[in-house]
């Protein structure tokens, strides 16, 4: 009887040791191998993507818009540029939904390096602004280019 118990105990111990996790890399389960392959493919895809560029606000790119408008004023103390701009059909709201923005007058903060002092009321301009909803203020003019005085705008 004692021999039978010893044999049963030894068999159970061998079975328990044999069922332990295999730490060897060359016998990974299929699901783990598939996950590793997907991770490597994802890393390869990201290697082809361009890096996020720094903006005048020091953050990665948000949504940028090229718009035309007319200068209505510039406040040097606050760096605020008042512009009556054309319709922006592809403007996205805070949730990322394309809602558009109708033509209107707005005041924009200007990024460092944007010279609002060189602009006069009535100047027609093309400008770029950056929208980063998690910033304050969320909208900043990053570039300004004067247009010819006879440029027709749809305001």
Task: Write out pLDDT tens, residues 1-29.
Answer: 555 444 444 444 444 444 444 444 455 45
Within-domain flag for 18: no
Domain for residue 46, yes or no? no
- CATH code, 122: 2.40.50.320
pLDDT higher than threshold 50 for residue 116: yes
Q: Give the count of domains, the chain.
A: 1
Residue 57 lies in a domain: no
Let me know if residue 68 belongs to a domain: yes
In a domain, 7, yes or no: no
Its domain, for residue 91, covers 63-146
Average pLDDT, the chain: 77
Helix (H) or strand (E) holding 139: strand 139-146
Q: Which pTM value belongs to this model?
A: 0.60
Whether 137 contacts 109, CB under 8 Å: yes
Highest mean pLDDT out of 10-24, 25-39, 117-131: 117-131
């Amino acid at each position: 009887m004692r021999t039978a118990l010893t044999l049963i105990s030894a068999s159970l111990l061998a079975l328990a040791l044999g069922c332990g996790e295999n730490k060897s890399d060359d016998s990974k389960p299929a699901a783990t191998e598939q996950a590793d392959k997907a991770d490597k493919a994802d890393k390869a895809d990201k290697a082809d993507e361009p890096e996020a560029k720094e903006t005048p606000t020091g953050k990665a790119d948000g949504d940028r818009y090229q718009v035309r408008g007319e200068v209505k004023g510039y406040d040097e103390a606050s760096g605020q540029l008042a512009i009556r701009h054309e319709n922006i059909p592809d403007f996205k709201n805070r949730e990322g939904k394309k809602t558009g923005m109708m033509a209107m007058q707005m005041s924009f903060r200007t990024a460092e390096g944007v010279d609002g002092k060189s602009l006069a009321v009535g100047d027609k301009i093309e400008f770029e602004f950056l929208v980063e909803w998690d910033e304050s203020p969320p909208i900043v003019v990053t570039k300004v280019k004067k247009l010819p005085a006879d440029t027709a705008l749809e305001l």
